[in-house]
Amino acid sequence: MTIQWFPGHMTRAKRQIEEKLKLIDVVFELLDARIPEASRNPMIDEIVGGKPRLILLNKADLADPVANAAWLAHYQALGHSALLIDSSTGTGVKDIAVRVQALLKEKTDRQIAKGLKPRPARALIVGIPNVGKSTLINKLAGRSAAVTGDKPGVTKGQQWIRTGGGLELLDTPGILWPKFEDADVGFRLAATGAIKEEVLHVDEVGCTLIRYLADAYRDTMVERYGLDALPATLPDMASAADVLADIGRRRGCLGSGGHVDYDKAAGVLLRDLRSGKLGRISLESPVIS
């Protein structure tokens, strides 16, 4: 699943971030807790350089708690400040200001030593599309200060937003890298909705997801869709397509002649995953070296 998708506004966003970086005190790198590494844009390290950074594992309420703990420990072991949050429910959001104070303590102490009154910290929020940046900003600001949506590409420009917690936030459009050579990365981004559905085959994503779930979350699949005869493993896409067809029949995803509409069936599966109706599911785990 090699996907190329780099709209013009993303090119502009990269340039604008680089221009604004000199005004920034701390960078919030917002990741999807269900796919932390797949949702990490490798361009971000190059763009933000050595700026203090707080990794925010968003949508943690949708992710597997065991995987959440493993990812948190992983990033902390690498020397990063990391926090589990959910911008929709507010989980962990109040802890962000405390982490920022810790990250900027040396700078703040120097300002105080010089007799200066520290100004509000200026934070840049970066992340791939549909990871929840605007929702987080609105939660921090306590109002609808940024446009939100459940599909990628909603935020088209940049804006400074003041919050009551001693922060000034710069929202930016999501930046996705130009090409995904790794098929697993493409699948994970597609399954969680980071990529517009027009650029992928929905039934292929659905079958790939079924193969993963049958292996990692078989009981969840059986309970949700009544798949009592679900095999322990699905060796190929054809066997996964059979399961997708079963789900389609059970959910009424039928076309003319009573045949299963595989795209509709895959859509049901993906919506269940993204909404949490399938349960708390993570699509990757940290590699332990």
Which residues make Cβ contacts (< 8 Å) with residue 172, sequence separation at least 6? Answer: 13, 16, 17, 124, 125, 126, 133, 155, 158
Q: Which of 3, 30, 4, 32 minimizes the C-alpha distance to 284?
A: 32
Q: Which of 124, 126, 140 minimizes the C-alpha distance to 173?
A: 126
59 is an annotated ligand-binding site residue: yes
CA distance 10 to 173: 7
Report how far apart, in Å, the C-alpha atoms of 199 and of each of 41, 258, 270 are. 19, 28, 15
CA distance 259 to 246: 11
131 is an annotated ligand-binding site residue: yes
| Number of other residues whose CB lies within 10 A of the CB of residue 102 | 12
Helix or strand holding residue 228 (H, E) = none
First CA to last CA distance, the chain:
27
CA distance 261 to 267: 10
150 is an annotated ligand-binding site residue: no
132 is an annotated ligand-binding site residue: yes
58 is an annotated ligand-binding site residue: yes
Alpha helix stretches (DSSP H) within the chain: 8-20, 43-48, 65-77, 96-103, 105-113, 133-141, 183-192, 202-216, 218-225, 237-250, 262-275
Q: What is the DSSP string of 39-89?
A: T--THHHHHHTTS-EEEEEE-GGGS-HHHHHHHHHHHHHTT-EEEE-BTTT
61 is an annotated ligand-binding site residue: yes
- Residues at the binding site for GTP are 58-61, 130-135, 174
Binding residues: 58-61, 130-135, 174
